[in-house]
Amino acid sequence: MTSYTTVNPATGETLKEFDELTTEGVEEVLDRSHRAFLSWRETPVEERSRVLARVAELYAERKQELSELTTLEMGKPVRQSGFEMDICKDIFAYYADKGPSFLADEELDVAQGGRAVVRKEAIGSLVGIMPWNFPHYQVARFAAPNLMLGNTIILKHAPNCPQNALAMEQLFRDAGLPADAYINVFATNDQIADMIADPRVQGVSLTGSERAGSAVAEIAGRNLKKVVLELGGSDPFIVLDAPDLDATVKQAAGARLVNGGQACNAAKRFIVVEDVYDDFVEKLSASLGAVTPGDPTNPKTFVGPLSSTSAVDTLMEQIDDAVAKGATVRAGGKRIDGAGAWVQPTVLTDVTPQMRAYSEELFGPAAVVYKVASADEAVELANSSPYGLSGSVWSGDADRAAEVADRLDVGMAFVNEHGATAADLPFGGVKRSGVGRELAQFGMDEFVNKKLVRVTR
């Protein structure tokens, strides 16, 4: 079996296999992408905007088929797959609309006189390495701003989403993007390392695991290439008080279970002030315990399978390690028997630093709940994680919650919501959650040459 293979995670059935890129193909891809850059960067901004607007339209037109394909390859409930196509449409439409203004020259007020501007220009061919959990959205965050800039893209997708990878490449071509401005490659890790090192490539963006990010950053640094990394997260969901506890628990359950809990910015650590801890644990455990994972093709299903049996293996190792060392299972905690990649939604308490679940990211429907005595203790626990992607604070007093949120060591802090994503909100983290920002105007500030142009008379 090749590494690029469609395996239905709901059934475990292998459906389709794809050939990997040949050694000779690496040089061909690099040459094609560089040649495309030389012309795409000269394409008028208005034309680049038109292409992105058409991509947005095609995401709307093909929403159903792309949603079904996503569900087939990585198990996302089909209704949630539809939401993913909606945000992709919004991202491409956003950059089609705002991109030209983001590219406008910035006038500088200089003491020496004369005229000085900063001009934003494309830098070249970029390598993108994307994950399976949001197979279209993650690509959109990277591709939309950089295509608008005039960069070109070589895209290595996750090995378990090859049909989605091809569908995206075809969508771009159907929208009128020059064929070599976006090239999908079924490449090996070694081939990608060679591409990053090649002088024709000017940067690399990776969304994925901490281990993959470290490896890519090492190669990029050795070759002096710009890098953007969006890595793991262990996001805190801090409950200071809960005037409407049922509503807070409903939000908590959704923040943990959406996409089967397989989101870097999902709520993973629930840090609850002791006054409401017992009731919160009881209600969250009842909520998650009542969820039975089901057929992801059914529009009513909220939790489907995990992406693969290996994903289940990893999550179960973390849960079993915690239980063996004294953690309490309040709900779930078991693999679901049968074919496919199924696991029960789980709630753990009494987790300590000696357990893997304390410091590692739980990439699946497993919540860890901690009791704290105060907001100060909540912040200390939240910031003890090596990750710093996002976090949320919940309270009937939004001003108090905002003060606490300001103290979180994260790239994105929310009050009375968790993990909000929109085209006009910047996305990214700190610490071991990565470097760089995507989306909003900041998404066009990473792989760009901010050229100073000074004119004196």
Structure tokens at 63: 């929403």
DSSP letters for 323-350:
HHTT-EEEE--SBPPSSS--B--EEEES
Residue 86: beta bridge partners? none
What is the SS3 assignment for 269?
Answer: strand
Tell me the angle at which helices 23-40 and 189-197 cross, rounded to the nearest 10 degrees: 40
Query: Is 161 assigned a catalytic role?
Result: no
Q: Give, for 15, the enclosing helix (H) or strand (E).
A: strand 13-18
DSSP letters for 182-199:
EEEE---HHHHHHHHHST
Which of 73, 169, 264, 438 is catalytic? The answer is: 264
Q: Give, for 129, the enclosing helix (H) or strand (E).
A: strand 125-129
Query: Is 88 assigned a catalytic role?
Result: no
Scored b (16 or more CB within 10 A) or e, 254-280 reads ebbbbbbbbbbbbbbbbbbbeebbeeb
Which of 73, 84, 169, 230 is catalytic? The answer is: 230
CA 238 distance to own-chain centroid: 22
Residues acting as catalytic residues: 230, 264
